[in-house]
Every structure is written in C-alpha cells, then in structure tokens.
A and B are shown apart, each in its own frame.
Chain A
Amino acid sequence: GNSVTQMEGPVTLSEEAFLTINCTYTATGYPSLFWYVQYPGEGLQLLLKATKADDKGSNKGFEATYRKETTSFHLEKGSVQVSDSAVYFCALRYRGSTLGRLYFGRGTQLTVWP
C-alpha cells in the first residue's frame, strides 16, 4: 500500500541553524511527493512538490529532492527563521489516482528560537 514515514518531532533549532526533516515513503509505482506546512491555527498549505525521480522542489528557501533509490523526500533549509516555526507534513499522491487523494505522514513540529 501507500504510506509515508516522517521523523518524529518536535524539532527545536536556533535561528540560522540548518534544518533536515526526514521523509521516506512506500508506494505502488512512482508517486508524486509533497511537503505541506501548517502554521499555528491555520490549515495546510503546499510548500513544495516533486513529480518524478531526481526532481527538486523548492520554495521559500526550503528544498527537497525526490530520491527513488532510497524512496526518500527529505526537507532541508540552510538557515531557518523564527517565522518557519510550524508543523511540516510529507505526503504522496499515487500516480494512478485520478482522485488526487493524498497520503500524509504524521507531521513534524518545528520550533525556531531567536
């Protein structure tokens, strides 16, 4: 079946530190992969995505590379800010799904201190 495993949080960093949040997946075929971000009190927003192997998604200084050989899509940022404090969700969409259904990881809480 389809599933996503994320590193457990919470993650606490100082401002300007390097961030990595690990994400691995199990899927039939070649899924599309996503990172969503949820700021306090809000719904989820798409942060970045990659639709095929070796694609790199990037947005707001965050990056993630679709690694088929390791079935991974780790999120990275070189220098985090206090405003990056949020919950981050890795997700996949099975390529054969016309419905567009997403499978989510459990989320990783990130707190950045000044």
Chain B
Amino acid sequence: NAGVTQTPKFQVLKTGQSMTLQCAQDMNHNSMYWYRQDPGMGLRLIYYSASEGTTDKGEVPNGYNVSRLNKREFSLRLESAAPSQTSVYFCASSNSYEQYFGPGTRLTVT
C-alpha cells in the first residue's frame, strides 16, 4: 500500500518549457487535490477533483491545468513555466475524514 505517490521528486525547467506532474493514489479515494507550498504562505490549493471526470479551480489556478485521468490518477500540467511557479507541489487524496499527502515535487523554473 503505497498511499499517494508523486513523480518526479525534483525538476528544473527553463522559462517557457512545459511539464506534467504525476500523482497516483491506491486508497480508492474519490477526492484529489493539488497544492503548492511557498515559504511563509502555507499550502495553497491549485485545483481539486471531487470524482473521476470532474475538476475545479482552487485559490491559485492561473498557469496550470489538470486532468483526472481515472479514479487513481490526477496530473498537473504547466504549459509555459514561469519563475513564479518555482515551488514545492503536493498532491493529496481524501476520504470523508482525512487528507493524505504525497512526498512532493520540488520545481525550480529558471
């Protein structure tokens, strides 16, 4: 039982490049989330998905897109990376009572 897994763990991009962050959970949860964590800002919600096939914007969705591929997988795409997107990205999934977090992806955009 791996819980929530994220790939890659680290990534460096140049401004304007694109990439997809992958997330998968094996707990049969309906809800999944993408957060970014910046110093002094806590965790801010980028996008979330209540169930397979549905997605909604969170607090800071600009510059990102998501896909809920199936119940297990929820990916985050940066179409044209900007230095302001340098951050640590966390994926999470949830049952009715608790959110479970992945180990994070540290992204640097130069």
Contact = CB atoms under 8 A, between A and B. Distances in A.
7 contacts: A43-B101, A43-B102, A43-B103, A89-B42, A98-B96, A101-B31, A101-B33
Interface stretch (B11-19, B43-51, B67-75): B43-51
A101 B45 contact: yes
B101 A100 contact: no
A75 B51 CA distance: 33
Contact of B42 (A43, A99, A106): A106
Given A89-B43, A106-B40, A106-B42, A43 B31 contact: no
A57 interface: no
A30 B102 CA distance: 28
B34 interface: no
Interface of B: 4, 31, 33, 40-43, 45, 48, 50, 90, 92, 94-99, 101-104
Interface of A: 42-46, 49, 89, 98-102, 104-107
> How would you classify the secondary structure of chain B's contact residues: helix, strand, loop or mixed?
strand
A51 to B, nearest CB: 9
A105 to B, nearest CB: 6
Contact of B94 (A43, A100, A107): A100
B99 A99 contact: no
Nearest to B58: A101
Given A43-B90, A89-B42, A104-B42, A99 B48 contact: yes
B64 to A, nearest CB: 17
Given A43-B102, A99-B94, 8 more contacts: A43-B101, A46-B99, A100-B95, A100-B96, A102-B99, A104-B42, A104-B43, A107-B43
A103 to B, nearest CB: 8
